[in-house]
Structure 1
Amino acid sequence: MYKWEGLNNTNINLIKNINISDEYDLQANLSSVLNSNNILKRFLLWRNIKFLKLKSQYVGFIWFNKLSNNRYKINSIFVMSEFKSLENYKALLGAIKKNSIATYFCKSSDIEYYIFKKLGFDKKRAIVEMKKTLKFFEEVECDLPISFYRFQKNKDEKLRCNVQNQIFSDLSRYPIDEEDVYFEENQKYYLNDGCIFIKHEESVVGYGQIIIDKGKAYLVNFGILEKYRGKGLGKLLLNYLSNLCYNMGYKEIYLKCNESNSIALQLYETMGFMQWDLTYELYKIV
């Protein structure tokens, strides 16, 4: 008979002893949240990790986020080697409320890809991972009144939320708030000097960010406000951020982009990025 168990001091050590590899770096996230004074974030993590037990043995665990009343994002799912079976993966999905949409990101080479396909998950979209080799510092030239402004902690959190939420309002991304930014500032991947605004005259018109994930420099949250697109500002900001990585000693810069976003992909290819890998978003009503 299966039994559910919430996060506790025993099973947290189980996670620490497993070599988990996923987009969100579960172990680092656990450490940062559990040592944080942010009570809400700690509560959400404890509530959203569920362990499945069979008699006295751990079968596995699932970690998810509740995005809305009937939408969930699976961050990580793991079944112990001696319990590997479709039935046990299906049992772990039982932690998610019935008749909800669950999504999961993985590569076609991951074993979970085949497992989730067998469990009836469909492809929703593909995400292209791209990389560019940084061989030298590139000059940023522009006739427009453009400047770059580095994000300042405890000052620009609201500004970043406003700009980023406007940039991605048409891409079905959930809006962020200041609490999300403060939380991110305490993550292992966050770079204090990696968050850059681009300004046209005195107006902030875009934003881009460099993070470090498993030793790689990634460009994230990159975009220009719709009103200012088509003026070459995206190239300028992208070039500036690439130079920032180069100055930090990185030989390559990576990014991820929806395969359907042809305009962004064309920009990245024009700027020397090449496709490196492909990740799929799978979904199902569970």
Structure 2
Amino acid sequence: MSGVSSYPRTRGTYVSPEVIRALLAQGYISEEDVQGYNESLLGTPDSGRELIKEVVQVLLKDRRADVAFLDKINAGILQKQFAAATDGKPAPVTVYHHSGARNLNGFSYQSVPYTKKLDRALYKRERYDFDRKERALWLRDVGVTHAQALRSAGIPQREIDRMVEVGKPPDGYQVHHRLPLDDGGDNSPDNFILIKDDVEHRALHGYYNPAELRIRHLALGETATVALAVPPKDTIIYPDPSKGYVSNSVGFSVFMEMFDEH
């Protein structure tokens, strides 16, 4: 990522000393990259959360609207996934959260020809049905048929009882569509998974995730192949420690490596 030091002069974007120091510490840039940068590198960020957001905003400022660049990055992620599968090792799914990058162990990147649903009336009807009926029906069923799996994942019995009685998710959890309604997903029970809201669900939909960035530029009816992070098939809840399906924090440079074109 050579040339970061030129941002303050050539692109009008101020890169604070804290950002430069963090990038150096993560190994994402080198001392050579910042030669000639006159600001002190001794500052300490007041907030790790704000620092991470600033790093992403600066480094992707001119690329997050570049469709060709985003297509290339999504294709690169899928190539790495294929190579990892060939070696018999699951590739980690790394996602963006404003408090730090996360690996979602058990998730996998899948090549999805994502078509933004042209029929918005259908989309709104499916979303309405999910909010008013389908989610509650699924939660009631799961509370009965998968009670042991829920307990193993740490859901208290009182929360499971509430799922069965009123069709509400446990505190801090959301029902997630494995394949989004906005694409070809539907409200069938096998398209649902119960997922912890923060950080897992929010990170999954993180603003700077490559698939999310590309989808944001699709017009109605338009298609793009994206590296979509898809939950594991053999569980109805995430995290699921009994299967090793948990998230963990990773160095921020791991997330930024996805945007390396080399």
More helix by share: 2
Q: TM-score by structure 1 length?
A: 0.23
Q: TM-score by structure 2 length?
A: 0.24
Which one has more relative contact order, counting CA pairs under 8 Å at least 6 apart?
2
